[in-house]
Chains A and B, each alone.
Chain A
Amino acid sequence: MDILTWITFSPLLFIPILLLLPENRKNAIRWTAAAGTAVPLALAVYLYGAFDRTLAGINEPGSFQFVVRNPWIESFSIEYYMGIDGLSVTMVLLTALLSFLCIFASFGIDRGLRGYFSLFLLLEVGMMGVFCALDFFLFYLFWEIMLLPMYFLIGVWGGPRKVYAAIKFFLYTLFGSVLMLLCILALYFKGGHTFDMVRLMNGAVESGSIGLFGTALGFGKAIFIGLFIGFAIKVPIFPFHTWLPDAHVEAPTPISVILAGVLLKMGTYGMLRISYPILPEATRWFAPALATFALVNIVYGALCAMAQKDLKKLIAYSSISHMGFVLLGMSSGTVQGMNGAVLQMFNHGTITAMLFLLVGVIYDRAHHREIEGFGGLAGRTPIYATFSALAFFAAIGLPGLSGFISEALVLIGGFRAFPALTILCASGIVLGAAYMLWTYQRIFLGPLNEKYSALPEIDGREIFTLAPLAALAVLLGFYPHPILGMMQSSMSHLVRAVWG
């Protein structure tokens, strides 16, 4: 059984069922959608057990696991080529988990359910596909398939400025991906007519140069920059980030979770999967610049977060800051840094998901997200306050919670490569603590805002969506091995492949 095909496409099988159900059978629709995401989750659990942690993958075609490889369109030498290694398996796990939980977070959606859940399942197909594809054309298809469901999910079910946010997201990401398309084609011809990523990695494609509008640049560097813009928009890296606050704020809660939890990771995943091993020389050339981008992201994101009055926007900006740590780890060229980067991708996925879910909980009850508009909720809703405390502290990077391990690894790795810059980056943690604690204090501590003296406590469904993530944050804080162990051999191999 080719498990990767099933994990990617099984949600698709549930879309016709959804569309056949009558619109007023809301619970049937919801549970069908839940079943559609449960299949990939079950397969992901199986993958977790069956995955061989000693195999590296990255640029060794033989050591990818669960490989499916069939010719697809031979005249274009496009293949249906899927496989995972330590880098992608963590992202597959994250995607399966968050998609499943988000279905339950979507139970509050009450109009156009069939459309909503169909698009959601289509979105999951795209996300899984991106992380499993090893053929560049296939990768691009999956990458683009996500745009359309995302556009509708934000545009139809989003907040007041949804239309603006949706088209901005669509245009920004399409801009990035068309540049990527050109790079894919250039690599195709350079690598001897192949879209096979692994073959490109071993093809030494960096020689030569490209002339464009009167300037000439080394082939590898030009392609790296083209791909970088495409990926940077997804991460997002300053100055390509302006779509993010709009999209995150206007999207319905579960979609914000997917955006922050999975879609942002695709940018950094793309760099690690594609740019790094295919263009190692350009990667080394670009590393200092990437570290600088990391610093800007960390500090700029944190400062912006500090200035926000809207809780959701604050978390959106904090994502920019935390993704900066991923970039710092990636630029370091050390095993610790790289491991930290990927672990941070996973941890940020779970922690930010929690934060957005928590915002959703309070928004559903109070119908606003003004930080100043609350106060003293800890006494009124203690369970909610506890989950929030855990999520906030995990986001700050408190020792004992998952965010700490990954950020510490990143800083250790980063310090060896760029000591001065890393010290500046560490200031981001201080800033993070400042805005998070200040926010927590304004919402949960102090005298209870009388308006919310009857605020209902978090309910069972919401706890169900939060508890697994909270458990992960605690578990990975003490014992990161379950995730770290899966990626280690791949990441050390990647460091060797790029930095020698």
Chain B
Amino acid sequence: MNGTVLGNVESIRYFLPEIVLVGTILAVIAFELLAGRGRAPEPPTAIGRRSPVCDGTLAIGLLGVAGSLAALLSLGYEGPLLLFEGAIAWDPFSIFFRWFFLAVAAAVLLIAHPYRPLVCLHYGEFVSLVVGTAFGMMLLASSTNLLLVYLALEMVSLPSYILAGFLRGDRKSSEAALKYAVYGAAASGAMLYGFSFLYGMTGSIHFFEMREAIASGGIPVVHLLVPIVLVLAGFGYKIAAVPFHMWAPDVYEGSATPITAFFSVGPKAAGLAVLIRFFHSVFAAGGEASLRVIGSVDWTLLLAILSAITMTLGNLAAIGQDNLKRMLAYSSIAHAGTMLMGAVVLGGSGVHAILFYLVVYAFMNLGAFLVVIAISIDKRRETIADFRGLGWRMPFLGVSMTVFLLSLTGVPPTAGFVAKFAILRALIEEEIYWLAVIGVLNTVVSLYYYARVIKAMFLDAPDPTEPALPSLSRIHLALLALFLVPTILLGFRFGVLDAIAAASRFLVVGS
């Protein structure tokens, strides 16, 4: 669909959600400076006590996110626009992601609130970094311009590095931050190098002008292949697609668990969004129904191979993990591969399936992390052995975790099954059978390691010497229900979400 280009001044109105977020960041920082003046920062050992300053910063952060959502809602939707002279898309696809990132940011702020290792440890900074990352992700999902893609990607990455290292006394956390930063620098460098090739060959940094140049032909295979691979390295790093995934297990394990949960959903979705937008609007042309690859490189095949390797390696590596956060890291790599399968399918059905999958994935993955967080509030309980007998000691947590894990596996009647089904449906419709077969075989592999956790929770007896687990805080209980209900319900009644995903699949592809 074609969009109307708006000038800089007219565009500001549509940029209001992002502006509110930026304002929130400043407000949080200012509030903490002013309200916290004169108080010594509370040491991390003072667990469980929450100061009014903490609650205040959280409230401001949440209010900001809510304000941004309200701004988004008030703008409505009148048709695709291209803001700021064609740099930022205002189309159903980007609006979907604006909603998605705001919701994820709010969820993460709430999840983190009762998590003692984070509380009062420069809490304002934590809030502003999460909100800042959300801002970057919103920008990334809507950029239609190479320069802005790069800036937005850095806007996601830089706060992420700090978030990864947020537990300052913790060696693993510091290691995570360093690894994340080094890998991130390499990946974005590679991507930038790829961009420079593309600019050199097409003479533009605007997606649609680049497409015109590529469609007119004449660019040799190698000259396109090199930048495509380099750009994939940049996006693949954000998505944690194999072979650009090496950072993920260490970063996921080292970061504070709420932050890990954030990484596994937010930046991953942002990476997917930019990947879809970039490839579907630069290297593909034609209408909604007849989208086809242009240029001399069949990047869909490249993506198909990438997704097959990502799923398979992610799942195989997850089998051997005893640390649940590492296992969920590998599992999230595998899920990235599953979603990439959808990106192989051109035309609306693939994007439609990915959007559906993302929402379901957010519920079930955040849910699984939430259970890990809920039981490790007072001390780290992150290995499978720590889950032994959980199902008998805390039945609600155990049953919820089982539902989340089965949903992650893709076993009916859970939302995860329907999501996987949607992706497979898109593949089979395009008759890409080989990838579908690899996809479903991976489901079987993934069952093996998810079932290990279920086994530990229900089939193993609890360790009688183990002290009582912390009781569930009210915020966590509410959030758990919030994640659990859709994870079950969307397994039966997914018509509404399907309609939302269907309506949101449209990208602006020209002006």
**Which of A's residues lie within 8 Å of B, judged by CB?**
73-76, 140-141, 144-145, 147-148, 151-152, 155-156, 162-163, 166-167, 170-171, 174-175, 178-179, 181-182, 185-186, 188-189, 210-213
Bin the interface of chain B by size: 20 to 34
**Cβ-defined contact, A148 with B406, below 8 A:** yes
B151 contacts the other chain (CB 8 A): no
Contact flag A167-B455 (CB < 8 Å), given A145-B413, A178-B440, A178-B444 = yes
Q: A140-B412, A179-B437 are in contact. List 7 more A-B contacts (CB 8 A).
A: A144-B417, A148-B411, A152-B458, A156-B459, A170-B447, A178-B441, A188-B425
B209 contacts the other chain (CB 8 A): no
| A213 touches which of B413, B434, B448, B502 (Cβ 8 Å) | B434
| B424 touches which of A152, A170, A181, A211 (Cβ 8 Å) | A181
Chain B positions within 8 Å of A175 at CB level: 441, 444
Q: Which 3 A-B pairs give the minimum distances between C-beta atoms? A: A178-B440, A185-B428, A144-B412
**Cα A145 to Cα B444 with chains together (Å):** 16
**Cβ-defined contact, A141 with B412, below 8 A:** yes
Chain A positions within 8 Å of B428 at CB level: 182, 185-186, 188-189
**Cβ-defined contact, B495 with A145, below 8 A:** no
Q: Which secondary structure characterizes the binding site on chain B?
A: helix
Q: 20 interchain pairs (CB within 8 A)?
A: A73-B498, A76-B498, A145-B412, A147-B411, A148-B411, A151-B454, A152-B458, A155-B459, A166-B459, A167-B455, A170-B451, A171-B448, A175-B441, A178-B444, A181-B440, A182-B428, A189-B428, A210-B431, A210-B433, A212-B433
**Cα A213 to Cα B436 with chains together (Å):** 12
Annotate B404-422 by CB proximity to A: 1 below 8 A, 0 otherwise. Answer: 0010000111000100010
B493 contacts the other chain (CB 8 A): yes
Interface residues of B in 422-456 (CB under 8 A from A): 424-425, 428-429, 431, 433-434, 436-437, 440-441, 443-444, 447-448, 451, 454-455
Chain A positions within 8 Å of B459 at CB level: 155-156, 162-163, 166
B494 contacts the other chain (CB 8 A): yes
**Cα A211 to Cα B430 with chains together (Å):** 12
**Cβ-defined contact, A182 with B455, below 8 A:** no
Chain B positions within 8 Å of A151 at CB level: 451, 454
Q: How far is the CB of B479 from chain A (nearest CB, A)?
A: 23
By beta carbon, the residue of chain B nearest A140 is: B412
Q: How far is the CB of A482 from chain B (nearest CB, A)?
A: 35
Q: How far is the CB of B414 from chain A (nearest CB, A)?
A: 10
**Cα A127 to Cα B457 with chains together (Å):** 26
**Cβ-defined contact, A182 with B447, below 8 A:** no
Chain B positions within 8 Å of A171 at CB level: 444, 447-448
| A179 touches which of B440, B494, B498 (Cβ 8 Å) | B440
The A/B interface has a contact count, at CB < 8 Å, of 83
B489 contacts the other chain (CB 8 A): no
**Which of B's residues lie within 8 Å of A, judged by CB?**
406, 411-413, 417, 421, 424-425, 428-429, 431, 433-434, 436-437, 440-441, 443-444, 447-448, 451, 454-455, 458-459, 493-495, 498-499, 502
Q: How far is the CB of A404 from chain B (nearest CB, A)?
A: 40
By beta carbon, the residue of chain A nearest B494 is: A73
Contact flag A167-B448 (CB < 8 Å), given A182-B440, A185-B428 = yes
Chain B positions within 8 Å of A75 at CB level: 495, 498-499, 502
**Cα A148 to Cα B488 with chains together (Å):** 14
**Cα A189 to Cα B447 with chains together (Å):** 28
**Cα A274 to Cα B412 with chains together (Å):** 20
Chain B positions within 8 Å of A167 at CB level: 448, 451, 455
Chain B positions within 8 Å of A170 at CB level: 447, 451
Chain A positions within 8 Å of B454 at CB level: 151
**Cβ-defined contact, A185 with B413, below 8 A:** no
**Cα A148 to Cα B458 with chains together (Å):** 12
Chain A positions within 8 Å of B498 at CB level: 73, 75-76
**Cβ-defined contact, A181 with B448, below 8 A:** no
**Cβ-defined contact, B495 with A156, below 8 A:** no
**Cβ-defined contact, B495 with A74, below 8 A:** yes
**Cα A174 to Cα B458 with chains together (Å):** 20
**Cβ-defined contact, B406 with A163, below 8 A:** no
Q: How far is the CB of B11 from chain A (nearest CB, A)?
A: 34
Chain A positions within 8 Å of B455 at CB level: 155, 163, 166-167
**Cβ-defined contact, B443 with A174, below 8 A:** yes
Chain B positions within 8 Å of A76 at CB level: 425, 498
**Cβ-defined contact, B493 with A174, below 8 A:** no
Q: How far is the CB of A380 from chain B (nearest CB, A)?
A: 37
**Cα A152 to Cα B402 with chains together (Å):** 11
By beta carbon, the residue of chain A nearest B442 is: A178
Chain B positions within 8 Å of A152 at CB level: 458
Chain B positions within 8 Å of A148 at CB level: 406, 411
Chain A positions within 8 Å of B495 at CB level: 73-75
**Cα A90 to Cα B453 with chains together (Å):** 39
